[in-house]
Every structure is written in structure tokens, then in C-alpha cells.
Structure 1
Amino acid sequence: MPTPIQQPSQLYTAMATTLRNSAGLNVQVGHQEDFSAPGEQAWVLIDFDRNAPGVRAADGRIAHVLTLSLQVIPALAASAFAACDLIAVLKNLITDNRWGLPGDQCDLPMNIDGLPSMLGQQYKAWTLTFEQTLYLGPTLLDDPLGIPKFARTWEVSNIDDPDQYTALEA
């Protein structure tokens, strides 16, 4: 079972690890500060563009709807369409990917879109943007004793009586 995540930066780390370890990609992965100029390998620069509110998870965790961008800068010797082709490969990888993070804390990516980048004039770069929702913080399912309990209205005489609740089975 994946380790619970506590902060958005863990998504960056998980994404970078996945991209570096993906067979056949052969890319350098980092963020804007890591990039100085194109080289022998293509670059994928990961950036967080926005952290918007979302609907709480069913367990009460707070939703963070993150807008992310992957800027692809092709290798120096690459063709004019290399970045566009790499965007297509990344889109296939991103779709349905939770980056090894827990499924109850990381939704699937949404609104995936690839466009020529602002660096396109100089490097023929492309940017792939998408949204991914993380659910962070404590759950609201635990009572103060740390023992989740439940009751079915048809099985108890008073739904407001905590003594009639039963502990959830693990």
C-alpha cells in the first residue's frame, strides 16, 4: 500500500521518479531552475501552476485541485516535431496515472491539454497541462478515541445515542 501523502510536493517527487524511470522516454526531469539550455537529451520541466479548492473527499480530507504543466524541450539534434511527439507519449503516460500515490488521496488527471510553449520560438518546446486533485490532511471518520464507528438507522432505536454505534471492522 502506498505511503499516505502529506503535502503537494510529494506529487512532484512521484511524477519526477515515474518520468525518469519510464522505459523509452530518455529524458532529463526537473523544474525551471534546473534547465539552462537544451542538450543531448530532451527535458521535461514540471511546474505547479495553481492550487485551487475542490470538493472534500468522502473521508473528509481537504481537496487541492492542482494545475500542473510539463514543459517539453527537445534535444538539440531533434526534429522540429520532437517536442510534439514527446507530448503525445507523455499524454499517454499521464492518462490514468496516480504516480504510485494512494488512490484515496490522488485522483486521476483531468483536462489534459498540449500546446506549443512560450519557449517555442527559441527551442520548439511544447507544454502539457492537466489538473490532478490531491486530498490532504486528516480524515474526519475517526472519533476522538480514534475508533471509527457506525450505526444503521434501521438497526438502532436512537441514531443520536453513541452507545448504539458499532466499531468498524478492520
Structure 2
Amino acid sequence: MKKMLVAALAGGALLIAGTPALAQTVKPALGPYGYGKVKLGMSFKQAKATGKVALKWGDKDSGCSGWDLKAYPTGKDSVGLYISKRRGVAVIFAAKGMKTPEGVGIGSTMKQVKAAYPKVRTPRGLNPHVSVPGNPKAHYTFFADKGRLEGLSLALGTQDCVS
């Protein structure tokens, strides 16, 4: 009986000791359908109901309204995402620390982008972009300076908020 109790206690201690690692929060990925609870195509009302976004300018009747993800507030003259009256959540911009499921984020090199997304294209006069793996209705756009990402966005292919 003592041996079984010791074994049970030892097993319980291991289980308890392992719990904090399991309890750690894993950051959601930017894509393929959104960021955490905020999903591309979600209406103004649905996005607001997640409790994860804060309105910066505009309203439900605006052609496009500017929002921030509450966990990643932006500066005075920028937004973290756009919600289109017609398309819903149309564009989500990466904040520092966000990564795509393929591990690309702000600070990644274009070499890393090309390794993660071999089909990335850079049409003349435009930023590099690629269809999102797993979501043919969306694309990533990469904003690089000197070969390193300063910005990244996830957008609906039909978004009507930014050019």
C-alpha cells in the first residue's frame, strides 16, 4: 500500500509540476483566417462583440472604420485593423511579436519570407504579397526596408479599405 501511495504521490507531483507549462498562453497566429478571436470577414458588430478590439475612428456606417487590437494598441495616427461596411474585418496589421503560422513576423528577413512562402510575388511598384496558405480568399502583404520586414498585413482579397 505504501509503495502505491508513494508512486501515486510522485506521479501527482510530476503532473502538478508540469501544469504551469501547460497553462502558459500560446499566442495566436496571424492567419490564415484572422488573429485569435478576430476573423477576416467578421462584421462590425461581431468584431466588437469579441471584446478584443477598440474603435479608433469611424462607426458601423463608415465605409471603413479603424480599430486596434486591445492587446496591441497603435499610435495616434495608425490602426491595427480595418473593418469595411461591405466586407467586414478587411485587413489586420501585424504588431511586434505576432507571427504567421509559418513563423514570419516583423523583423523577419525577406530571405525568411521567401523560404516560408516560395510563391511570394513582387509586382512592379507594389509590395511583395502571397496568397495565404489554407485560405485562398486572403493574402499577406510584406513591407520591407533593407531586406527586413517592418510591417506585415493579412487581408481579404476583396478588401476595400486600403490600396
Global fold match (TM > 0.5)? no
Please report the TM-score for the alignment, with normalisation by the length of structure 2: 0.29
Determine which structure has more spread, i.e. the larger CA radius of gyration.
Answer: 1
Please report the TM-score for the alignment, with normalisation by the length of structure 1: 0.28
